[in-house]
Structure 1
Amino acid sequence: MFLEKIAESQSKFFLFGLVSFIIGIAGASVLGLTRKNLFFLSCCLILLLVSLGITISKKWRVLIVLSIFLFLGVWRFVLSEPAKSPQNLRFFTGHLVIVKGILISAGEISGNYQRVYLNSQALKFFVDDNYKKIQGKTILYLEKYPLHDFGEEVEVRCNLTDPKELLKDDQFSYAAFLQKEGVWTACFNAQIISNLQPRHFSFYKIFLDLRNYFNQKINYLLPEPQSSFLRGLLYGDRTTFPPELRNAFSKTGVTHIIAISGYNITIIVVGLLVLLKFFGLSRRRAFILILGVILFFILLSGASASVIRAGLMGVLVLWGRQIGRQSSAGRVLILAAAIMLLFNPRLLLFDVGFQLSFLSTLGLIYFSPILEKILVKISALWGLKEIIIATFSAIIFTSPLIIYTFGQFSLVAPLANLLILPVVPLAMLLGFLCLFLGIIYLPLGKIIAYAAWAVLSYILKVAEYLAGWKFSALNLSLPWWLAALFYLFLVYLIYVNSKKSKI
């Protein structure tokens, strides 16, 4: 009966095909399948295609096609592992080599070293040897100074290493983190022999330079830590954000306001919608304006894959609020997730940012209507009700994953978000105005900076005060099966609510 219903609707058939594809990727991730399993997977796929050709029953044909989608998901995950061929950097793991390539990130200080990603172009074993063309990314661990920048073309001497072999304390998670970035080797104690070019032109570099210019202006207009906080708030730059404030934000569950994730953008999107509606802007105009803000945020943050994914999640929430149709928004979310996983299947299990983005968006689409029914008798309170519903929907859907992954649960997160989130759009607006006017005429920017400083200080003080409570956060451990049961319960609540809505 279920399969026949799927067969009757093309949209349902396509939707369940995408879900099967995602399940296939999840299964391959959990089982840890590699290229060694490729022959077996190929045989299974051929067998399914042959079965599809000889099967007449519509019900069985649907089941076989869904199985093909599932195996395609498994196939895609396995193929995301680079082949160990002489054309790939991974082939030379364990060798001392000289690699020529382009830095694809700015240098990031971490402890006593500097960390930067390199996109390799050529490789040789000795200084007087000839370069051989290769491809593949690696992560360089260099001396702390001088700081290197995106776009530098360099020659590096290093001993290529498998990250699993050196980082014994957290083998799987760190290796998996690098793999989802397309990095399968690491260069510890790397030494840059020469800079072949001071810069390599790209539009990404233009926006990095623009961001550095904005950083200088913000530093001049505002003191610390307000200036660091504003940079994190406007475009996710947390490089100089004080560790004690990071800890306070983590304890109070408000880190998302300075993080580049879909969780961050979805909450801010709702806040901006409420603020713009409060000032009398129509839903359509607010939609266009916020769309422009998201695009600007993506470009200014460097337009990396993670930032684009976060922006896409924010656009989905915005679009869902615009059309007001739960089913359409949910289908587009699954389609977006499937497309992102098609490009990078290792995001599903190995990228917490992707998981939090997906779950928070899912909560805003499907769980916020349940909370709206519960709070139906409460007045709008100048838009605060909408922010409360959005915040709690995201918190409920992301808390099990946060506890499972980080082992911490913030008891004050609901209160902190209630006190902080309503003023985040105002802080962003004042911060943007102070920066914009400061570029045009510095004294005018200074005037607005006083108001921005007051709002930013309020947020920081609330976070510090609540983080100082004795039981602000609990250290908890949550087994995966208990987290899975919680999510199954949420799915059940959504199902019951959808059935009641149809009556």
Structure 2
Amino acid sequence: MQRYVLISLLALSLGIAFRSFYDFGWSFIFLLLTLSLVSFLIKKNKVLFLIVIISFSFGVLRMHTASPSGDVLKSSDSYTGVIVSEPDVRGSYTNLFVLVEEEKVLVRADSYQEFFYHDEVIFKGDLETVENFEGEGGRVFNYRGYLAKSGVSLISPFPEIEIVSSEKTFVGALLSLKKKYLNSIKENIREPYAALAGGITVGEQRSLGEKLTQDFRRTGLIHIVVLSGYNIAIIVMAISAVLIFLPPKWRSGVSILVIVLFTIFVGASSTVVRAAVMGTIGALGVMVGRSYDALHALFIAAFLMLLWNPYLLIFDPSFQLSFVATLGLLVGTPILLPYLEFLPNKFALRELTAASITTQISVLPLLIYMMGEVSVVALIVNLITLPIIPLAMLGVFLTGVVGMFSGALAMVFAYFSEMLLRYVIFIVESFSSLSFATVKIPEISFLYIVVMYLLLWWWVNENRQPF
């Protein structure tokens, strides 16, 4: 069964990837399906061949139908729509995703204006098609594809905009609660520790500042301030370690419940939901020793996510990194654990160390291709900071929640939290200051990345134990 699921996922992914770069229109899709039917009738291994062809064809078809049109809104200078996601404040401006007549537009507004989820707004200004741009290291960032995954093909830079009406919704209430939580943290924990506190608990990394954000990137620790599948996995493993006295099924149930509540609390955006699903699958697979079942669940989850939004495969780095990190966690951790017998297993230290090493190795080829640099110090920095991150997250969470009711009582947790956060920032800044902290990598063909992953897969097959 798992074999067919994996083959379907690979064929679907190839179809999506093919259509992402080549558009031959509907005629090509019908030709492909016709040739598939003819080939199927003359092939011996009909079931496997049918799975491959149907999955590949459906991948091409799904990607073709998912493309945002961008044609509906070009005839007017004034537009009315509803903000359909949490406003993304970026220093001097705010990104708003506004749904206008079933077409989503990225509206860039001045940051002095305050907007909320599900506000109805009217804006007057030019609509522009999304253009790619040159990013860090001279690499072209496919901004068009990146926004297309959110259904956006048009952007309106700094139009005249005003709020027409506001509507209270459940998601809006959650986002307001999140904002109160972050304000509570800022009132009880000093900067820059408050910014890091918001990052490790709800993924609010934007207030870290450019310098500190760059330090986290240079040391390979940026993943702790964004809500990735790896982050969720660490949370699940930490919860399981604290509840070690409970039977495995109870630990798993409590862990899943906590992640569900956490996902709802931070707004349940599509990115967070994907990270929660993958991270929970990976962590539970390691903790309960059912890597085979977890792999099966991971492939099914990825298959369904790509059916829902095929743009994730090529144009969403968070999906790519979460999937690869979770896959590495599941297949690499059991191989590495026997080599870490010298470490104490108290508080899941052995599993956390193995998880850190395997995920760092598994995402390395992708990071080389995306970022053009490698953090030489990432492994050591992760090993000496990750064990305290769950404790820091707990302390910060208690500070934020208690602080909404009693500032005096919150200071008890704030002192403990700030001490741990101070340690993390000290390590990050110290290692980032080293001249050899990162190594620049020239732009390379994606073929080299494929070769790297094939070599990793060969090594896994040579060393893994039967599930």
State the AA in 2 paired with 1:312.
Answer: V
Whole-angstrom CA distance in 2 between matches of 1:439 and 1:145 = 25
Whole-angstrom CA distance in 1 between matches of 2:183 and 2:18 = 47
> Per-residue displacement from partner, 1:409-439 (whole Å, max 9, x unpaired)?
1111111111111101111112222233333
| Structure 2 CA distance for partners of 1:359 and 1:255, relative to 1, 3 Å | same
State the AA in 2 paired with 1:38.
Answer: W
Where in structure 2 are the equivalents of 1:205-244 lying within 5 Å?
205-244=172-211
- Bigger relative contact order, structure 1 or 2 (CA pairs below 8 A, ≥6 apart): 2
Q: Which of 152, 163, 169 does residue 183 from structure 1 map onto?
A: 152
Give the deviation of 1:206 after TM superposition.
0.6
In terms of Rg, which structure is larger?
Answer: 1
State the AA in 2 paired with 1:248.
Answer: D
Q: Give the SS at the match of 1:387.
A: helix
Q: Which of 246, 261, 268 does residue 296 from structure 1 map onto?
A: 261
In structure 1, the residue matched to 2:164 is 196
> Per-residue displacement from partner, 1:256-302 (whole Å, max 9, x unpaired)?
1110221322233334433443xx44433332332222122211221
Segment drifting more, 244-253 vs 394-403: 244-253
State the AA in 1 paired with 2:261.
Answer: F
In structure 2, the residue matched to 1:115 is 95
In structure 2, the residue matched to 1:485 is 451
The question of whether the paired residues in 2 share the 8 Å contact of 1:404 and 1:477 is answered with no
In structure 1, the residue matched to 2:62 is 76
State the AA in 1 paired with 2:368.
Answer: I
The runs of 4+ residues in structure 1 deviating greater than 6 Å are 168-171
Q: Give the SS at the match of 1:195.
A: strand
Where in structure 2 are the equivalents of 1:17-416 lying within 5 Å?
17-29=8-20, 32-34=21-23, 36-49=24-37, 52=40, 54-55=41-42, 58-83=44-69, 89-93=70-74, 95-110=75-90, 112-121=92-101, 135-164=102-131, 167=133, 173-192=142-161, 194-197=162-165, 199-277=166-244, 280-376=245-341, 379-380=344-345, 383-416=348-381
Share of identical aligned residues, percent?
29
> Per-residue displacement from partner, 1:208-265 (whole Å, max 9, x unpaired)?
1101111221122211122221111111112322322211111111111110221322
Whole-angstrom CA distance in 2 between matches of 1:213 and 1:476 = 42
In structure 2, the residue matched to 1:5 is none
Q: Give the SS at the match of 1:288.
A: helix
Where in structure 2 are the equivalents of 1:424-463 lying within 5 Å?
424-463=389-428
In structure 1, the residue matched to 2:460 is 494
> Per-residue displacement from partner, 1:177-214 (whole Å, max 9, x unpaired)?
1111110111123221x4221x1222110111101111
Whole-angstrom CA distance in 2 between matches of 1:483 and 1:11 = 25
The question of whether the paired residues in 2 share the 8 Å contact of 1:107 and 1:149 is answered with yes
Whole-angstrom CA distance in 1 between matches of 2:61 and 2:338 = 43
Give the deviation of 1:370 after TM superposition.
1.5
State the AA in 2 paired with 1:196.
Answer: V
The question of whether the paired residues in 2 share the 8 Å contact of 1:98 and 1:156 is answered with yes
Give the deviation of 1:378 after TM superposition.
5.1
The question of whether the paired residues in 1 share the 8 Å contact of 2:97 and 2:106 is answered with yes
Alignment TM-score, normalising by the size of structure 1:
0.86
Give the deviation of 1:171 after TM superposition.
6.7
Whole-angstrom CA distance in 1 between matches of 2:262 and 2:175 = 12
Whole-angstrom CA distance in 2 between matches of 1:115 and 1:61 = 48
State the AA in 1 paired with 2:4.
Answer: F
Segment drifting more, 487-496 vs 235-244: 235-244
Give the deviation of 1:77 after TM superposition.
0.9
State the AA in 2 paired with 1:33.
Answer: Y
The question of whether the paired residues in 2 share the 8 Å contact of 1:430 and 1:448 is answered with yes
Unaligned residue ranges in structure 2 (runs of 5+): none
Whole-angstrom CA distance in 2 between matches of 1:222 and 1:486 = 43
Alignment root-mean-square deviation, CA: 2.4
Give the deviation of 1:27 after TM superposition.
2.4
State the AA in 2 paired with 1:232.
Answer: G
The question of whether the paired residues in 2 share the 8 Å contact of 1:236 and 1:258 is answered with yes
The question of whether the paired residues in 1 share the 8 Å contact of 2:286 and 2:334 is answered with no
In structure 2, the residue matched to 1:124 is none
Is the counterpart of residue 12 in structure 1 residue 6 in structure 2?
no
The question of whether the paired residues in 1 share the 8 Å contact of 2:181 and 2:400 is answered with yes
> Per-residue displacement from partner, 1:311-363 (whole Å, max 9, x unpaired)?
11122113313542222211211110010000100110111100110011001
In structure 2, the residue matched to 1:125 is none
State the AA in 1 paired with 2:142.
Answer: S
Give the deviation of 1:497 after TM superposition.
2.5
The question of whether the paired residues in 1 share the 8 Å contact of 2:86 and 2:175 is answered with no
Whole-angstrom CA distance in 2 between matches of 1:318 and 1:462 = 26
Give the deviation of 1:109 after TM superposition.
4.0
State the AA in 1 paired with 2:11.
Answer: S
Alignment TM-score, normalising by the size of structure 2:
0.92
The question of whether the paired residues in 1 share the 8 Å contact of 2:228 and 2:318 is answered with yes
State the AA in 1 paired with 2:202.
Answer: Y
Whole-angstrom CA distance in 2 between matches of 1:440 and 1:157 = 42
Whole-angstrom CA distance in 2 between matches of 1:212 and 1:476 = 39
State the AA in 2 paired with 1:357.
Answer: S
Give the deviation of 1:69 after TM superposition.
1.4
